[in-house]
Chain A
Amino acid sequence: MKRHLVSAADLSRDDALLILDTAEELAQLSGRAVKKLPTLRGRTVVNLFFEDSTRTKTSFEVAEKRLSADVINFAAKGSSVSKGESLKDTALTLQAMGADAVVIRHHASGAPARLAQSDWLHGSVINAGDGTHEHPTQALLDAFTMRRHLNPGLGNDLSGRRITIVGDVLHSRVARSNVLLLKTLGAQVTFVAPPTLLPIGIDSWPCEVSYDLDATLAKTDALMMLRVQRERMNAAFFPTEREYSRRYGMHGGRLARLPQHAIVMHPGPMVRGMEITAEVADSPRCTAVEQVANGVSIRMAVLYLLLGGATLADTPSTNQSEAAK
């Protein structure tokens, strides 16, 4: 594994499977009396959130606390408009506080990459979502959920599984991370969206593209609905909410046309009535809640694998003592 997790592209197939398998083991913890491991005692993890995200932040925080890390929540107020304290100064502050890892959510694409490459801080950087770029732990928990349903078992990948991702691909960091990771794990990805919500250059991505949701349903093992923000409507990406829902929304009729084994996924928060009806969202085939639970296991696995062993912060011991027996 690399020292940082900035992009799903940072993960080799072995890395990804190691994370999924580790998460599978750690998932047991939630059934135990003491849901805590001492592994990251003395490690300091900073949750640096420049953008509000209760769900992702809570998920990381639970994961960090279950591993006994010292958790610092650093809510960096400020938008792309108001400058305030710079990313650099914030990073230098965290470095001075001795952060072993920084979990960063930022509205600007590339901010975690900047942190990881800079000499502003020395700890691991974990991307918790940057702008419209990537959200690698979301992709990992999605893959974890898919594997449990479509190809369960340690060491298994997703080869040959057909994943359809529907919605605002253009602005989706979830879509970007997913296509990279799913490709690494051998799945076949199809994006379905109106042409206005697909990025220029998508023809070079490792995926198929369709404008027709109904045509892809029968060939789908997992259907992932992306959130569509209502403000996109004002920017002429599509004419009306109603038309979007009709053409690209998931409803009971479409659910019935999915193969029996297929699941419906949503990274949340769902816009019910827009991209997904309540009937689908609340159906047992929708894994949205399960995804949230899996998120904790995945984030524990990532934190353990990045921070649990020797890190740069530790004085490297030249004479590594044999595993004590």
Chain B
Amino acid sequence: MSTYLIRNAQLLGGPAQDILIDGGVIRQIGAGLTAEAEVEIDATGLIALPGLVDLHTHLREPGREDAETVLTGTQAAAKGGYTAVHAMANTFPVADTAGVVEQVWRLGKESGYCDVQPVGAVTVGLEGKKLAELGAMHESAAGVRVFSDDGKCVDDAVIMRRALEYVKAFDGVVAQHAQEPRLTEGAQMNEGRVSGELGLGGWPAVAEEAIIARDVLLAAHVGSRLHVCHVSTAGSVEIIRWAKAKGWDVTAEVTPHHLLLTDELVRSYDPVYKVNPPLRTAEDVHALRKALADGTIDAVATDHAPHPAEDKDCEWAVAAMGMVGLETALSVVQQAMVDTGLLNWEGVADRMSHRPARIGRLVGHGRPVSVGEPANLVLFDPAYRGTVNPDSFATRSRNTPYRGLDLPGRVHATFLRGVATVLAGELVAPEELA
């Protein structure tokens, strides 16, 4: 394991300092450190942020290795500044048993680019009918604490209630994909002015909000923790704000794309903009930004959803839903939140590292950049301006809505427990991860 001396990095809420990383932890922080290190990095102009934590990543392995593998997904995560990701359960087979979650967990360990915390399915096969063996998944080597049927909604109120109650036994949390199924039959995009004009099946905001409203009431009733995945509407924000004001243990996430893009983009009929939940209106984008800024929404989660080219290179109706997002998340957040003055970099560290780590109960992640802490950190260059080029992505898929767009900022380096996974903006080769 190398030692790194990072020169002149901008620390949150303080002056530029040197950081010495040794033995996987942050050894020293100070001005003009004289320590010897094998690698010295000039971090002038770079911000040192705690390693980012994603609550919502689709790594696709096992089953859809043509879209992504744990290795390529964690490489993409590292390039995006992430040191831990939660791998969603909608794989083939579904991660609804201890065996599958352990397999994913082990693949993450082997990759070495980013910690992989598997998410367990709430119900067997994501079918919403029968609880999966939540306890067994928790007790497995993967130590699952976050459970989600993401991609599908746990729409049966009784099943949802039982799941919320059951995971209390091991401090788990149910992360709900809020989508009332009947109201979204045949839905293709946000229901509103644009869907009416385009003749695409509408996905009403109320289909999300009705489930969130029900779930916060259920969580309050049984005294459980609830996490709401990818909140996308202004109405959802209001419900969560109300639930939090009541003192209920509700947390929520928003994706980068819902902070930047609107359903007007669907006018192109380009399926790269097809995503679940759908892109909403400018009013929703405003409300989500405000909610993230004031803490009503706790976290930014990528919902990184890789798809092979053929699943997007087609007509809208048959295209797969989802966007890749790990490698652009921090830049999009800078554009939508920081450069607009809504959130400072301390806020970004809180919403993209501290709070998601706390929601997932991850140990060793989401910690401040200070002496004695595990050296999970990212050096980010906010002054960089570049055009998004999907061909440079580490993810195996190219379904980004930002192709050709100028976005601010770039990850310069990422450290996972003192090991550099990204240096000078490039992935470190697998054989050098040690």
- Across the interface, B194 reaches (CB within 8 A) one of A131, A132, A201, namely A201
Shortest Cβ distance from A175 into B: residue: B199
CB of A102, distance to nearest CB on chain B (Å): 14
Residue among B196, B202, B315, B317 with max Cβ neighbours from chain A (10 Å): B315
B158 adjacent to chain A (CB < 8 Å) = no
Q: Does B316 contact A (CB under 8 A)?
A: yes
Distance to closest chain B CB from A292 (angstroms)? 24
**Per-position binary interface string of chain A over residues 188-205, scored 1 when its CB falls under 8 Å from any chain B CB and 0 otherwise:** 000000000001111011
Contact yes or no, B315 A110, CB < 8 A: yes
B193 lies within 8 A of A109 (CB): no
A62 adjacent to chain B (CB < 8 Å): no
Task: Give bound CA distance, A131 to B193, whole Å.
Answer: 17
CA distance A201 to B197 in the complex (A): 8
B198 interface residue per 8 A CB criterion? yes
Which stretch in A33-41, A53-61, A80-88 binds the other chain?
A: A80-88
Among the listed stretches A14-22, A111-119, A246-254, which one makes contact with chain B, having 4 or more residues with CB under 8 Å of it? A111-119
Q: Check if A133 is an interface residue, CB within 8 A of chain B.
A: yes
B269 at the interface (CB under 8 A from A): yes
In the complex, which of the residues B197, B270, B314 contacts A87, with contact meaning CB atoms closer than 8 Å? B314
Annotate B201-237 by CB proximity to A: 1 below 8 A, 0 otherwise.
0101000000000000000000000000000000000
User: How close is B71's CB to chain A, nearest CB, in angstroms?
Assistant: 29
Q: Are A201 and B269 in contact (CB under 8 A)?
A: no
Q: Output the nearest chain A residue to B204 by Cβ-Cβ distance.
A: A200
The answer to whether the Cβ of A227 comes within 8 Å of any Cβ in the partner chain is no
Binary CB contact string for chain B from 295 to 328 against chain A (1 if under 8 A, 0 otherwise):
0000000000000001001111110000000000
B200 close to A (CB within 8 Å): yes
B313 touches A86 (CB 8 A): yes
B192 within 8 A of partner (CB): yes
Indicate which residue in B192, B268, B270, B313 contacts A201 across the interface (CB closer than 8 Å).
B192
Question: B72 an interface residue at 8 Å Cβ cutoff?
Answer: no
B165 touches A (CB below 8 Å): no
Determine the residue in chain B with the shortest Cβ distance to A80: B317
In the complex, which of the residues A88, A106, A109 contacts B198, with contact meaning CB atoms closer than 8 Å?
Answer: A109
Beta-carbon contact of B269 and A113 below 8 Å = yes
Q: How far is the CA of A133 from the CA of B192 in the complex (A)?
A: 14
- CB atoms of B195 and A87 under 8 A apart: no
- Which residues on the A side are within 8 Å of B150 (C-beta)? none
A108 lies within 8 A of chain B by Cβ: yes
Q: Please, what's the 1-or-0 string for A103-146, where 1 marks a CB less than 8 Å from any CB in chain B?
A: 00011111101100100000000000011111000000000000
Task: Count CB-based A-B contacts (< 8 Å).
Answer: 78
B191 CB-CB contact with A under 8 Å: yes
A66 touches B (CB below 8 Å): no
* Assembly CA distance A134 to B267 (angstroms): 13
Interface centre among A107, A108, A205 (most CB of B within 10 A): A108
Q: How far is the CA of A201 from the CA of B194 in the complex (A)?
A: 8
Instruction: List chain A residues, Cβ under 8 A from B199.
Output: 109-110, 130-134, 173, 176
Q: Compute how far the CA of A46 lies from the CA of B318 in the bound complex, rounded to whole angstroms.
A: 23
Residues of B within 8 A of A173 (CB): 199
Chain B residues lying within 8 Å of A205, measured Cβ to Cβ, are 196-197
Residues of A with C-beta under 8 A to B315: 87, 106, 108, 110-111, 114
B310 touches A201 (CB 8 A): no
Q: Within 8 Å CB of B192, what residues of A? A: 200-201
Residues of B with C-beta under 8 A to A88: 310, 313-314
Shortest CB–CB separation between residue B88 and chain A, in angstroms? 24
Considering the chains assembled together, what is the distance between the CA atoms of A130 and B318 in angstroms?
14
**In the assembled complex, how far is the CB of residue B372 from the closest CB belonging to chain A, in whole angstroms?**
55
Residues of B within 8 A of A204 (CB): 193
Bound CA–CA A111/B194 (angstroms): 16
Could you list 22 examples of A-B contacts with CB < 8 Å?
A86-B310, A108-B315, A108-B317, A109-B316, A110-B315, A111-B316, A113-B268, A114-B314, A114-B315, A117-B268, A131-B199, A131-B200, A132-B199, A133-B198, A133-B200, A176-B197, A199-B196, A200-B192, A200-B195, A200-B204, A202-B196, A205-B196
Question: Could you list which residues of chain B lie within 8 angstroms of chain A, going by C-beta atoms?
Answer: 188, 191-200, 202, 204, 268-270, 310, 313-318
A109-B317, A111-B317, A130-B199 given; 13 more Cβ-contact pairs under 8 Å: A80-B317, A86-B314, A88-B314, A108-B315, A109-B199, A110-B316, A131-B199, A134-B199, A176-B199, A200-B192, A200-B195, A200-B196, A202-B196
